[in-house]
Every structure is written in structure tokens, then in C-alpha cells.
């Protein structure tokens, strides 16, 4: 990794008229801003199809994309919709109201699909057939899963009729025959998602901006992956998890974080040569230039919580075969451009695993000032194989964090260390990250803009109000880009 810097922004936070950000003109305008500001990296959260709570970390598939990110204006360009079809209600410019946006965008997708079916054969039809053929190894199961979920009123797969939940061959064959149109619609939606994402990624590359993707270690129980590969997960006979994932009490929650994802049956995965993981990482590397692996410590040991526990407190650490897994990934895929999210309860075995494979680790400036000068998140303790963040999607904005500090000692230490008065604490944090020896510095866009608590993206261990922040297009000014570039050039990034 060469010395570089970039901005963390999920595409849903982009501006636009359709209720949430997408892969259209506003995404390209953001890339232009990154380029003008001298930034080499755009980091996103998982782009996966979202399920419970609209969280990108609770996905319906490890492979399928979130079709709410499709820019519907391309349907007009491709002759599938009329401009008047895009007339949108007065959505909020500052927040995503998923309950309003989802039916609006899904209706546009359905209209476009119906128009596509009725239209004459075209280059678009040929592209779709090619996409379906190349993606069949994951797309066929996902499209069937979504079609079945639709006719089952959105219920989790473990609550479907037993023959479908258990994937009995006759029941699956019958479902494929009866749901051909719904399956084809899902394939069409995924085709447009990846077509648009790759166009935006190519636009970024042409302007010298690489994309940092995010791979969540776990998948949701109600996902095509768990339904299609029950053997890889710790489930009971009915398909319900026996143990679930989370973390013990930590910085964010005194009772820990109960994520609820099913845990892997690592013995079975190892017996199959980690083929599912190899497919997953190969697929991710086809979409992104670098990968941030969320909750990396779970590859050394997972916090296993018995299913049904009300909190994450009554769990235990259970070893995971991280060295065997990453050795298999390296043998199959070559060099792995991975950043390890090594935050939280990090033990020597986690750091040993990270260092053994040469993965850079993470540091977060907001964690730096609550102890003493030995704190690993303080810049003077960084090494070059580090990615420093002012804050991540799980943190408050820097301005919001500073305004909310209740501990005068932390505030005083922060101001003394940064040699500032705190009036522009977001700029002081950015300067400290840029000036550090860390090979890579990533800044939340909220911090570039100096926004407060209202712009927080996610509050861990909370169940509502997350993933909704958006910014207004007029906030990305030439002046801010110029200031960012001067700071970037000054510190050799």
C-alpha cells in the first residue's frame, strides 16, 4: 500500500431526487470531488441486498447487490421508462426513509422489467443472458430465494413449508417452474445493479480513485447463502441457529452486541476446502480494489452466544481456523489486498494472524484519548501498516463526539495532544490522521464537512434510526476540495 488517503461514504448517503443515493450522476460528481481533493480512495460499506433493519451488514446474500442503489434514470435512457415515470414524492434530502423509498424504487424496477419483457430483442437482452450465464453459480439460488420469499410474504426461509426450507429436489423444481417470471425479474434487477456499479467503478478508476469494499465476516440467517448451504452453519434440524454471533461488553455497549448471525461450522468449511469463502472473496475482488474485512478477530476466535439469549453477555470465545482459511485464499487467489478491522477485544492471537498474512490493521482517532500515551490509537504509536480513521461508520462524527464528551480529562488530553482549541476539531482530526506515519488515512465525509451528531451513520446495539444519513449536493464545494487537496499534498498522500 502506497501512502494515500480517502473518504468513507456509503452510496445511500449521496444526494439525489429518489429518496436515497444511487449509482447515477451524483455518484460520479462525488468521484470528481475526490479527484479534485487529491483523494485516491473511496471506501463504501457492503453493497449487498439488505434485509432486517436496512443494515448493509445484515444482507439477504453475500453476493447479490442492493437494487435500491440502481439509478432509475438509466431505464429512461434504455427506453424502458418514460421521464414522467420518474416523478418522485417530496423525499427528505437529509435522511433516507426506507419505508417510503423502497416501494417507490421497487415499483420503478418492476415497471422497467415489464417494459423489457414486452420490448423487442436487443443488445440489452444479449447482455442480460451473458450476465445470467456468468453469474449462475450464485444468481440462480438467489433469484429463487427472493421469489420464494415474495410468495411467502417476506417470512424467513426457516418458516417456509418444510419441503422448501429443507430444499427437497421435487419442491425446488416445482417452485422454479411456477415462479419463472419472478425469478427472471430478480435476475434482471441484479443485471442492472452490477452494470451500473461497474460503470461507476470504471469512472472512478479513470480519475485515479480506487474503491475500498467492505466484507462482513458473517451473513444473515435469513439469506440465500444459509438457505442454500445449511451444512456450513450451526443450525438445528428446523434450520434455526443453535449459536449466534456478537461481541462481549465493549466500548459501545455494556451488555455487548448481540448480532444474531448464525455461526459457521468451520469443520465442514475446512473439509470442503473453504470453497464458499474462496468464491466469496474472488467475487468481492472483482468488484473492489481493496477489501476491508469486518470483525477480523472472528477469524481467530468467535464470540458464540447460545441462541435465545437476550444479550451478548453469556457467550464464550471459540477458536476459528483463520490461518488455514487465509492460506487457502492465498493459494487460490494470490495476493490478498485486505485491511483487517482489528478493533474491540483484540488478543495476541488476532494480531499474530493479521501480521502473518501482512494485512494492515485499523486505528481510530476517537479511541485515542481516553487513557494514556500508550494508547495504540494515538498517532505516535502507529506503524506504516496501519489504516487510520478519524471515525468509522460505527462512530459519531468527530464534531458530535467532541461535543458529547462528558469526561473533562479526555477533552483536555485531546486538545493538548492535537495542540488546538477545539473550535474546528474535525479539521484537527483530519490533519492528525494525514500527518501520521500510517500508510493510509480514511476520513468520514461527515468530518470533511464538519457535521455534528445529526449526521451519525450508525449507533451499534441500537435497533432504529441507522444507515439513513444523506448530504446535500451543495455542501461539496470547490473550496472544501481545495483545502483537502492542500492538506493531502502537504503530508505526501
Residues catalogued as catalytic: 294, 341, 394
Contact predicate 175/141, CB 8 Å: no
Task: Give the span between the Cα atoms of 20 and 375, in whole angstroms.
Answer: 38
Task: Give the span between the Cα atoms of 378 and 254, in whole angstroms.
Answer: 24
In DSSP terms, 320 is beta-bridged to none
Q: How far is CA 319 from CA 136, 154, 309, 343, 399, in A?
A: 34, 35, 21, 18, 38
Strand pairing class (243-247; 210-215): unpaired
Q: How far is CA 354 from CA 1, 160, 298, 451, in A?
A: 15, 41, 12, 34
Say what angle helices 180-206 and 169-178 make with each other, to 10 degrees: 80
- State phi, psi for 291 to the nearest 5 degrees: -125, 125
Q: How far is CA 69 from CA 19, 65, 101, 106, 111, in A?
A: 10, 8, 11, 11, 16
Residue 157, C-alpha cell as written in the block: 426461509
Say what angle helices 408-418 and 425-435 make with each other, to 10 degrees: 60
Contact predicate 332/325, CB 8 Å: no
Give residues with Cβ within 8 angstroms of 482, minimum separation 6. Answer: 36, 37
Task: Give the span between the Cα atoms of 482 and 291, in whole angstroms.
Answer: 28
Task: Give the span between the Cα atoms of 81 and 140, in whole angstroms.
Answer: 26
Q: Write the burial class of residue 41 (CB in 10 Å: 0-12 exposed, 13-18 middle, 19+ buried).
A: buried
Contact predicate 66/51, CB 8 Å: no
- Residue 406 exposure: Cα atoms within 13 Å on the Cβ side: 0
Task: Give the span between the Cα atoms of 353 and 325, in whole angstroms.
Answer: 11
Amino acid at each position: 500500500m502506497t501512502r494515500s488517503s480517502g473518504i468513507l461514504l456509503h452510496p445511500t448517503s449521496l444526494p439525489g431526487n429518489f429518496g436515497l443515493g444511487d449509482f447515477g450522476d451524483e455518484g460520479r460528481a462525488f468521484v470528481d470531488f475526490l479527484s479534485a481533493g487529491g483523494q485516491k480512495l473511496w471506501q463504501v460499506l457492503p453493497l449487498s441486498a439488505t434485509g432486517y433493519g436496512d443494515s448493509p451488514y445484515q444482507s439477504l446474500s453475500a453476493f447479490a447487490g442492493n437494487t435500491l442503489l440502481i439509478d432509475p434514470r438509466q431505464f429512461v435512457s434504455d427506453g424502458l421508462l418514460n421521464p414522467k415515470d420518474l416523478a418522485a414524492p417530496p423525499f427528505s434530502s437529509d435522511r433516507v426513509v426506507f419505508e417510503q423509498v423502497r416501494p417507490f424504487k421497487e415499483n420503478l424496477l418492476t415497471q422497467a422489467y415489464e417494459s423489457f419483457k414486452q420490448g423487442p430483442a436487443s443488445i440489452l437482452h444479449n447482455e442480460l443472458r451473458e450476465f445470467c450465464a456468468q453469474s449462475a453459480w450464485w444468481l440462480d439460488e438467489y433469484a429463487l430465494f427472493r421469489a420464494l420469499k415474495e410468495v411467502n410474504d417476506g417470512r424467513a426461509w426457516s418458516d417456509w413449508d418444510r419441503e422448501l426450507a429443507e430444499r427437497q429436489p421435487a419442491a425446488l423444481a416445482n417452485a422454479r417452474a411456477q415462479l419463472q417470471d419472478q425469478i427472471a425479474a430478480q435476475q434482471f434487477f441484479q443485471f442492472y445493479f452490477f452494470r451500473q456499479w461497474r460503470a461507476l467503478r470504471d469512472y472512478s478508476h479513470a480519475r485515479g480513485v480506487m474503491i475500498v469494499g467492505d466484507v462482513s465476516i458473517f451473513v444473515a440467517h435469513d439469506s440465500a447463502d444459509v438457505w442454500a448451504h445449511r451444512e456450513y452453519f450451526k443450525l438445528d434440524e428446523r434450520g434455526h441457529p443453535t449459536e449466534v454471533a456478537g461481541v462481549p461488553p465493549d466500548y459501545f455497549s455494556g451488555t455487548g452486541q448481540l448480532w444474531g448471525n448464525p455461526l459457521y461450522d468451520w469443520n465442514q468449511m475446512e473439509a470442503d476446502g473453504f470453497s464458499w469463502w474462496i468464491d466469496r472473496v474472488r467475487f468481492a475482488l472483482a468488484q473492489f480494489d481493496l477489501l476491508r474485512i469486518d470483525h477480523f478477530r472472528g477469524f481467530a476466535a468467535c464470540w458464540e452466544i447460545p441462541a435465545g439469549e437476550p444479550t451478548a453477555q453469556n457467550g464464550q470465545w471459540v477458536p476459528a481456523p483463520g490461518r488455514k482459511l487465509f492460506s487457502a485464499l492465498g493459494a487460490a487467489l494470490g495476493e490478498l489486498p485486505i485491511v483487517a478491522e482489528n478493533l474491540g477485544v483484540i488478543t495476541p492471537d488476532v494480531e499474530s494472524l493479521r501480521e502473518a498474512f501482512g494485512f494492515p490493521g485499523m486505528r481510530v482517532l476517537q479511541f485515542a484519548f481516553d487513557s494514556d500515551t500508550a494508547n495504540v490509537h494515538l498517532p505516535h504509536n502507529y506503524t506504516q501498516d496501519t489504516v487510520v480513521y478519524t471515525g468509522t461508520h460505527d462512530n459519531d462524527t468527530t464534531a458530535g463526539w467532541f461535543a458529547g464528551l462528558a469526561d473533562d480529562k479526555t477533552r483536555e488530553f485531546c486538545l493538548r495532544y492535537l495542540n488546538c482549541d477545539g473550535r474546528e476539531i474535525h479539521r484537527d482530526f483530519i490533519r492528525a490522521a494525514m500527518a501520521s506515519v500510517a500508510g493510509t488515512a480514511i476520513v468520514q465525509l461527515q468530518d470533511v464537512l464538519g457535521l455534528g451528531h445529526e449526521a451519525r451513520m450508525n449507533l451499534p446495539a441500537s435497533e432504529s434510526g441507522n444507515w439513513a444519513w444523506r448530504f446535500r449536493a451543495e455542501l461539496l464545494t470547490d473550496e472544501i476540495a481545495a483545502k483537502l487537496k492542500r492538506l493531502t499534498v502537504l503530508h505526501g498522500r
